[in-house]
Structure formats: C-alpha cells, structure tokens
Amino acid sequence: MKKKLFVIGGSLAGIGLIAGLIVYFFVFNKPHRNYAEATPDFDLKAAALFEEFRTNPQLSSVKYNGKVLSVTGELNAVEQTDSLTIAVFGFEEGMFGSEGVRCTMIPELAGEVVKVAPGTIISLKGLCTGYNDTDVILEHCSLEK
Amino acid sequence: MKLRIIFLLVIIMGVGNAQAQKYITKNGHIRFFSSTPVENIEADNRQVNCALDQQTGDFVFKVLMKSFEFEKALMQEHFNENYVESDKFPSATFNGKVKNIGAIDFSKNGIYNAVIEGDMTIKGITKKVSEKGTFEVKDGKVLGKSTFNLLLADYGIKIPNTVANNISKSIRIDVDVNLEKLAK
C-alpha cells in the first residue's frame, strides 16, 4: 500500500514538475516571435502603405498595426544610430525632413541593408507598429531575398 | 492627426523669425521601469518623435505604444493587450513647453536645467504634468534628459489582482532625446 501511494505521489509530482516547466518555458518565457521567418500578412508597395496611413491614419492603424508587412520600394537612405539601423523609404519632404516608411532592422541582419545602395528597389519585412504623424514605423525588419 | 497639426504649428509659428530654430529627432528613447520585490520590468522605445522650438519652448512628443520592447514576449503581449490597449490607443503624446527656455543658451556648450510643463495623453486620458530635466548643448546638438514617475491609475491602467505584486503602481520613465537642428 505504501509503495502504491509512493508511486502515485511520485507520478503526480513528476507530472506537476513537467507541467510547471512547460508553463515556465512556453508561457512565461516564451520567445519573441521571429519576424525574419514570419509569413507577411500583407505584401504591398511602401508608397501605397504610406499614402494609406497619411490619408486615413485611423483606418490604416486598425488594418496594419501589429501585422507583419512586406514592403517594396526604392531605398532612400540607411540611417545608423548608436543602437539602430533604419532603412528609409522617403516619399514626402515634410517639416521634419523626409517622411515615409522607416524600417528598424533586426541588429543581426542590419548588415545586409547597409550594403544596399540608395536608389535600389528592395523589399523589407517587419512588424508595423503604427504611424506617428510623419512616418509609418516597421520594427524587427529583414531584407527579403 | 492632432499632433501633426501641433508639430506643424511649432514649425510654422517660428517662420517669421529668421533666428527661430527647431530641434527634432525621430529616434528619441523612452524607457519605463517598474520595480517590485517580486520582479523588475522594463521596456524601451527608440522610435520616439520629438520636436523642440528654441524660441517659444514648445516641446512635443509622439510615442507609438507597439514600439515598446520588453525582455519577455508575454510581458509585451500583456502590456499591449491588457494594460495600454494599443490597438485602441496606438500612441501616447506630450504637448507642452520648456518653461525656462530663455535660460538655455543654445549657442554655448553646457548642461542646463529645464522645467517642462504640459499635457500628457496616455490611453486617451490627458493629465497636466510638470517635470524637471536637463538639456545638454554640445556642438550644435541638444541632448534632452528627464526622469520622472507616472501613476498607472492616473491613466486608467488597471493591474489585475493576480499580478498586483509584480507590477509597480508607479512607473519610472526615462526620457533621452538627441535633438538635431532642423535643416532650413
């Protein structure tokens, strides 16, 4: 009887431990989404995306915010700050300089876009986080092959 | 759209004065930090729009909520879906003034104390805020810094009882903007 209780107790503890580990690793510490490997929700021209946000920011926010977008356009510039590499598709010269679609590159993949000459047509994929009244912002971007 | 109008006004109102100078960045950095005995939570946003009018002291920010990045994906999900409801309220804004703008000599390198007052809007709720900060003028650039605290309850952010011990009711905000002269 004692042995049976021991086996049952041990089994329950084992199951509890496994369940706890699953919750810890796959819920509490689940990894961030790998946007470089994600399938885009929308595939569109960078100019069209910017125009949609510029003319109807609210509707476009509902449609695109939080979605993975693949945008294609003529690379305007690549800006580098201390910690960011940002590929810029510029379409309008506003009060704040060039306005358009700004794509923050995944740091490990930023080197790919740095090598691209301005004026080249490229496609970038990333997470759309919204429109800040001057630019559409894409984060976690990678250059599409 | 409202902030775009404010941004434009900040610029246009100074056009008459040839000496008026605007400083801007599209890569401002805002970090928030929650500290409790159970855990520390922090998030960074490095895509903050910010503009400062040297003459009038007008100072504006626009922050996309989905651009905040957390160490843990689950925290980021909870932040966007449950706390700030970023689908419904995609951005936060600050529209205010540097009250003592005249005390800052933009032509002379140095660190200047600043008093900033204005309206902070988060989750659709606007509150008056008054905070201190510094502007470091260095070779034509202006590095603005400020650290202050926000009460989550002031902006209608409710923390569920189940995680009440994990998230502080008062969040520390660090602002760090490297402003550059707007090319005329």
Are residues A27 and A61 located together in one domain of the fold?
no
Q: Across chain B, how many H-helices and E-strands are there?
A: 2, 9
Are residues A92 and A127 located together in one domain of the fold?
yes
Structurally, chain B folds into a number of domains equal to: 1
Are residues A47 and A83 located together in one domain of the fold?
yes
Q: What is the pLDDT along chain A (145 residues), one digit of tens a residue?
A: 778 887 888 888 888 777 776 666 666 678 889 999 999 999 999 999 999 999 999 999 999 999 999 999 999 999 998 889 999 999 988 777 789 999 999 999 999 999 999 999 999 999 999 999 999 999 999 999 6
Contact B46 A86 (CB under 8 A): no
Quote the ipTM score.
0.83
B34: number of Cβ within 10 Å: 19
The answer to whether residue B44 is domain-embedded is yes
| Full domain range(s) for residue B164 | 2-15+26-177
Asked whether A102 and A131 are in contact (CB, 8 A), the reply is no
Give the whole-angstrom CA distance, residue A31 versus residue B44: 17
The DSSP output letter for A118 is T
Name the residue of chain B whose CA is nearest to A63's CA: B87
Contact B3 A66 (CB under 8 A): no
CATH of the domain at A119: 2.40.50.140
**B5-23 as b/e, with b when 16 or more CB fall inside 10 Å?**
ebbeebbeebeeeeeebbb
Contact B26 A134 (CB under 8 A): yes
The answer to whether residue A118 is domain-embedded is yes
The answer to whether residue A37 is domain-embedded is no
| Full domain range(s) for residue A126 | 42-143
